[in-house]
A and B are shown apart, each in its own frame.
Chain A
Amino acid sequence: MEMPSGNASTRLIFSLGLHSAAIIAFQLALMQLLSIVQWHHFAYMIISVAMLGFGASGTLLALARERLLRHSEWLIPLLMTLSGLFIMVAFHITRMEIFRFDVYLLFVEQTQFPVLAANYLIYFIPFFTGALAIGLLFIKYARQIGTHYFSNLLGSGVGGVVVLLALGLLHPSHLPPLIGLLPVAAGLLSMPPQRRSLHLFAAGTALAVMVLLIGRPGHIPMSEYKDLARAMNLPDASVVHSKPAVHGFTQVVASPALRFAPALSLSFTGEVPVKKQVYVNGDFFGVIPTYQPGQTSHILDYTSQALPWAIGTPQRLLLLNAAEGAPVSHALTHNPAVLDAVIEHPGVIGLLQEEFAAVSGNLFLHEKVNLHAVQPRNFLAARATADYDLISMPQQEAFGGSVGINALEENYGMTLEAFQLMWSRLASDGMIAVSSWMDYPSRSSLKLLSTLVMTLESQGITSPEKHIAAVRSWGTITFVLKKSVITPQETAAIRQFCHEMFFDPVLLPDIRPEERQQYNSLEDTALFTYIDRIMASDKDFLDEYGFMIHPATDSKPYFGQFLKLSNFRQLSQVFGQEQIPFLELGYLIVVVTLVQSSILALLFIVLPLLKLRRGHRGKGGTLLYFAALGIGYMFVEIILIQRFVLYFGQPVFAISAVISTMLIASGCGSLWSEKLPARPRFPAGIALLVTLGLLAYTFFLTPFLKFSIASPVALKIFLGLLLIGIPSFFKGMLFPLGIRYLSDYDPGQIPWAWGINGSLSVISTSLAMLIAVEHGFQAVMGLGVLCYALAAASFASHRTFFRRAG
């Protein structure tokens, strides 16, 4: 083990921080870029494999430790520089024709697989070289690991925040060239003075590449199947506005062929208005509404979404997740007394209040429109009054099915608890309205109905047929849940509405089977049987049905997740294996990601064992301790993100706050750990302390956050810092204490420990998702606690796990 001199040490620590900041910044920027090129699940799939560069670096270090250490003085700066250069160009290389792959074609063209593999490799290189530099540094200065790990975590925390800010300011394709400069600068800083001339040349090259890439206009060629790409094929289509944003790259497209009328009634004979359309990361988000003062009719009056206004004249409205504003302009034409619109995407509010204010008839500046840029669930819990006549939600699913692309999106606005909250915010005659595109096999509509029925059950209402009305157009179904009993007059009004619009009633207190298919018949009428069984509170049906249609809950907040893994074989037989990806793709991607990451991670853990098999004892202890830390840290991070997203109501803010606080607090813990001797009782004791603290969180964190959700923002931030920071401080001590213990016990195992920790950190993200979908977030938390207990156990009985080195 070495000790760098004072100046060199400071330079190295600073370089490590810069370099670490770049690695995390590149990961986040790449996620945004690949989400634009393809879809975010695939971005996640590619990056998770690329991130295994951390595991691979550990393997290489274990296999060639001595040789690498011998040349580390110039190798570390060189690796940093290479990593920076690859960060700059990796994305641009994959955009070359030869490396362009399309996820949509992955299932129909086998030639796409080698191209996908090439993409994996290209993105793997910057992470591998970057991680190798970090790993080498950790091993070389294992006794100062606390300080170095602090720099690594602090850099990562700062890098994450800075790139989020940059995503709101710069074109996403310009970010990698800028980010790549950081490791190049880190390399230059850490290079010994006598070797700097060569490095200056490399730095000059990097600067030239950066200028070249930034100088090009921002353009991201995307899959031809993305909504935006298809819109751009229309005549005279042009992007009239584009704006980088943290929530996603926002673009507005105009074309005389772009119209908006989702599932329009076939009785409508007028002109369907041309609208500018908003795309976020290349996916359709909504349209720019065009409201005219005094307007009394709206195209949405000719859709099933108008059902609440057929039943009554609600005056106090709450529109949750009102997307781009079309529901707001629709509601306004009915002249309500109060209109609260909750819109989560602040960029869209900005669009309609500034650039497109005039086009939209100043809709978002209208005196009656109260805008709230917060998550719907948070608004309901913290700010909503309790006298709404109508609470309305956006249309669920997508036309023709969303192929489960939103399966893993945590949607706290559509959980059973959210509906119970909405119920509590209704006036005595108030209504909750929600629509869905019809899908086949039926999933979304059935899940919506089961949620409504269970909401009623939770309120002690055992006759749902008196409170739920539903109508079906040719493409959508709209449900209205009414707090009071639906009256005969209201029933008659619904029937009249259906007759005028060529819609069919599906649920009414006195529904007759023959009127369910008067205008829009179904060849497969099983839907009605399913609906009736749900209305009869037939729990067996929910269990038996081929898809997941139990209501989403706060512990499993995945409204868009319908795939039952246990039913996969049956689904394959019924629909054909090749159709499954187009039924429920989102969840499958996570499974595929987990499988491929696990195989690779296993490889990276097993390979070094070949080298370590002779002359090294206590490998079981190293494996157990560092695997437990890798998994436990990520599981707890995911749980904290999940809880605090709900608490703050601003996902981007919450995610960045949680990650940064965790990393910085852990960094401080790491720094402080240098004061402790590297004896087994310290990691054992601290891991036990973390276990007990997290165990308390399992039971008390959610109730506490629920209790304080309506507190002033400053207090909430303070509480958040404490609740995230304290356990993270102690968690941050565990990795460096373990490394320091190994540096005394058997330094040859340090690279292996680094590889295990890195590999398992990556796979635990998809593993946590899988566990959350199948068993809920509580299970993830439970396993996180168990991991820390195992880490404590591995050192508490270190005589068992860490036998004397041979």
Chain B
Amino acid sequence: MSRLARVHFKYEDHMGLNKAFCCILTGICLVMLAGARVGFPAANASSDPFQRERNRMVREQIQGRGVDDPATLNAMRRVPRHLYVPVSQRRFAYQDRPLPIGYGQTISQPFMVAYMTQIINPRPDHRVLEIGTGSGYQAAILAEIIDGVYTIEIVSELGQQARRKLEAQYDNVHVKIADGYHGWEEHAPFDAIVVTAASEYIPPPLIRQLREGGRMIIPVGSPYQMQQLMLVEKKEGGDITTRSLMPVRFVPFERAE
């Protein structure tokens, strides 16, 4: 699916504008986007009623907390988060919090998605594996930056919904409905692995499928309390190290001395 299709989807499916208008807008967007991977035309922003909310989300929730990777910020501005939440939650889509998406799963807080994206240093030529597609939002953000996004969802219903949305918009996202434990051997090694659901253990196959020098990011905590992330790095030579990150840093109880 071309980028044209992605933009078209955004308008036709969810903005309720008539098709002709969408086609004109899409054409303008296509021209303006030609040759550039990042950056989004101002004309588009003004015609998307959610664009203002998205810009505010990026400015206040994401940049305001220190995420400064341009590719990540642009992706966060472009992807219509409201399309990745249940209709009943759409009005909360750009609020600074995770939202329920059913099956005991959540779509992460926007800042966490941005932070996890930035921390793996995504580059266009990277190949990234995502474990836990959920609503597909994180995969969409990655797909805006990276050529090859491979995403696995274990809950069949969620996986099918996400596949429909992602494959309608992106040709660089591959969705598999399976147990993420086994990773995706055929496309390994990966430059980065993003695990979106907290897990009590890190599956050894994922460590094997991580390229030496590669990074894996995993949240630690309950769905509504993702204050901690863990960065796993596979060193040259095979040693594995971890780093507990505090994206939202608290220094609560230091004594003033």
B98: chain A residues within 8 A (beta carbon): 108
The reply to whether the CB of B56 lies closer than 8 angstroms to some CB of chain A is no
Given contacts A225-B104, A268-B204, A440-B246, contact A526 B220 (CB under 8 A): no
Interface pair A519/B251, CB less than 8 Å apart:
no
Interface pair B240/A519, CB less than 8 Å apart:
yes
Given contacts A266-B242, A526-B254, A545-B253, contact A108 B224 (CB under 8 A): yes
Interface pair B240/A441, CB less than 8 Å apart:
no
- Name which of B19-27, B38-46, B227-235 contacts chain A: B227-235
- Name which of B10-18, B133-141, B185-193, B194-202 contacts chain A: B194-202
The reply to whether the CB of A524 lies closer than 8 angstroms to some CB of chain B is yes
Per the bound structure, the CA–CA distance linking A270 and B207 in Å amounts to 11
Among B90-107, those with CB < 8 Å from A are: 97-100, 102-104
Which of B104, B181, B202, B221 is in CB contact (< 8 Å) with A401?
B221
Interface pair A520/B202, CB less than 8 Å apart:
no
Which of B103, B202, B244 is in CB contact (< 8 Å) with A521?
B244
Interface SS of A by simple majority = loop
The reply to whether the CB of B154 lies closer than 8 angstroms to some CB of chain A is yes
The reply to whether the CB of B225 lies closer than 8 angstroms to some CB of chain A is yes
Closest to B228 in A: A440
B253: chain A residues within 8 A (beta carbon): 441, 526, 544-546
The reply to whether the CB of A653 lies closer than 8 angstroms to some CB of chain B is no
B252: chain A residues within 8 A (beta carbon): 441, 546, 570-571, 574-575
Interface SS of B by simple majority = loop
Q: Flag B164-193 by CB within 8 Å of A: 1 or 0 each.
A: 000000000000001101000000000000
Which of A229, A257, A401, A523 is in CB contact (< 8 Å) with B245?
A523
Closest to A402 in B: B222
Interface pair B251/A524, CB less than 8 Å apart:
yes
- Among B198, B223, B224, B239, max chain A CB count under 10 A is at B224
Among A255-281, those with CB < 8 Å from B are: 256-257, 259, 261-264, 266-272
Which of A109, A230, A266, A440 is in CB contact (< 8 Å) with B104?
A230
Number of interface residues of B (CB under 8 A): 46
Closest to B216 in A: A266
Closest to B177 in A: A235
Which of B100, B102, B239, B240 is in CB contact (< 8 Å) with A108?
B100
Per the bound structure, the CA–CA distance linking A160 and B248 in Å amounts to 49
Interface pair B103/A520, CB less than 8 Å apart:
no
The reply to whether the CB of A582 lies closer than 8 angstroms to some CB of chain B is yes
The reply to whether the CB of A511 lies closer than 8 angstroms to some CB of chain B is no
Given contacts A235-B179, A400-B198, contact A583 B254 (CB under 8 A): no
A403: chain B residues within 8 A (beta carbon): 222, 225
Per the bound structure, the CA–CA distance linking A256 and B179 in Å amounts to 9
**Nearest-CB distance from B134 to chain A (Å)?**
12
Interface pair B200/A261, CB less than 8 Å apart:
yes
B224: chain A residues within 8 A (beta carbon): 104, 107-108, 582
Interface pair B201/A401, CB less than 8 Å apart:
no
Interface pair A524/B246, CB less than 8 Å apart:
yes
The reply to whether the CB of A474 lies closer than 8 angstroms to some CB of chain B is yes
Closest to A104 in B: B224
Given contacts A234-B154, A262-B200, A266-B202, contact A400 B225 (CB under 8 A): yes
B227: chain A residues within 8 A (beta carbon): 440, 579
B102: chain A residues within 8 A (beta carbon): 224
Which of B99, B155, B200, B255 is in CB contact (< 8 Å) with A399?
B200
B198: chain A residues within 8 A (beta carbon): 399-400
Closest to A266 in B: B240
Interface pair B97/A108, CB less than 8 Å apart:
yes
Interface pair A108/B202, CB less than 8 Å apart:
no
The reply to whether the CB of A233 lies closer than 8 angstroms to some CB of chain B is yes
Interface pair B181/A267, CB less than 8 Å apart:
no
Number of interface residues of A (CB under 8 A): 55
Given contacts A267-B240, A474-B230, A475-B220, contact A441 B250 (CB under 8 A): yes
The reply to whether the CB of A522 lies closer than 8 angstroms to some CB of chain B is yes
Per the bound structure, the CA–CA distance linking A225 and B98 in Å amounts to 14
**Nearest-CB distance from B156 to chain A (Å)?**
7
B243: chain A residues within 8 A (beta carbon): 520-523
**Nearest-CB distance from A97 to chain B (Å)?**
14
Per the bound structure, the CA–CA distance linking A690 and B200 in Å amounts to 53
**Nearest-CB distance from A257 to chain B (Å)?**
4
Which of A224, A474, A579 is in CB contact (< 8 Å) with B103?
A224
A401: chain B residues within 8 A (beta carbon): 221-222, 225
The reply to whether the CB of B203 lies closer than 8 angstroms to some CB of chain A is yes
Closest to B245 in A: A523
**Nearest-CB distance from B82 to chain A (Å)?**
16
**Nearest-CB distance from B55 to chain A (Å)?**
23
**Nearest-CB distance from A727 to chain B (Å)?**
44
The reply to whether the CB of A105 lies closer than 8 angstroms to some CB of chain B is yes
The reply to whether the CB of A502 lies closer than 8 angstroms to some CB of chain B is yes
Closest to B98 in A: A108
A268: chain B residues within 8 A (beta carbon): 204
Interface pair A582/B225, CB less than 8 Å apart:
yes
Per the bound structure, the CA–CA distance linking A263 and B230 in Å amounts to 12
Per the bound structure, the CA–CA distance linking A502 and B204 in Å amounts to 14
Per the bound structure, the CA–CA distance linking A152 and B8 in Å amounts to 72
Interface pair B246/A523, CB less than 8 Å apart:
yes
Given contacts A108-B224, A545-B253, contact A520 B244 (CB under 8 A): yes
A579: chain B residues within 8 A (beta carbon): 225, 227
Per the bound structure, the CA–CA distance linking A104 and B222 in Å amounts to 11
B251: chain A residues within 8 A (beta carbon): 524, 526
Per the bound structure, the CA–CA distance linking A438 and B200 in Å amounts to 12
Given contacts A224-B103, A233-B103, contact A257 B250 (CB under 8 A): no
**Nearest-CB distance from B76 to chain A (Å)?**
21
Interface pair A235/B254, CB less than 8 Å apart:
no
Closest to A540 in B: B255
Interface pair A225/B223, CB less than 8 Å apart:
yes
Interface pair B250/A575, CB less than 8 Å apart:
yes
Per the bound structure, the CA–CA distance linking A78 and B242 in Å amounts to 67
B244: chain A residues within 8 A (beta carbon): 438, 440, 474, 520-524
**Nearest-CB distance from A139 to chain B (Å)?**
49
A474: chain B residues within 8 A (beta carbon): 202, 230, 232, 242, 244
Per the bound structure, the CA–CA distance linking A108 and B223 in Å amounts to 12
A235: chain B residues within 8 A (beta carbon): 154, 156, 178-179
Q: With A502-B241, A524-B244, A524-B249 given, can you name 17 additional A-B contacts, CB distance below 8 Å? A: A256-B179, A257-B154, A262-B200, A264-B201, A266-B240, A269-B207, A399-B198, A401-B221, A438-B244, A440-B228, A441-B252, A441-B253, A521-B242, A521-B243, A523-B243, A523-B244, A570-B252
The 4 closest A-B CB pairs, nearest first, are A582-B225, A261-B201, A266-B240, A224-B104
Q: List 20 A-B contacts (CB under 8 A).
A: A104-B224, A107-B224, A108-B224, A224-B103, A224-B104, A226-B104, A229-B104, A233-B154, A234-B154, A234-B179, A235-B156, A264-B201, A400-B222, A403-B225, A440-B244, A475-B220, A502-B240, A520-B243, A545-B253, A579-B227
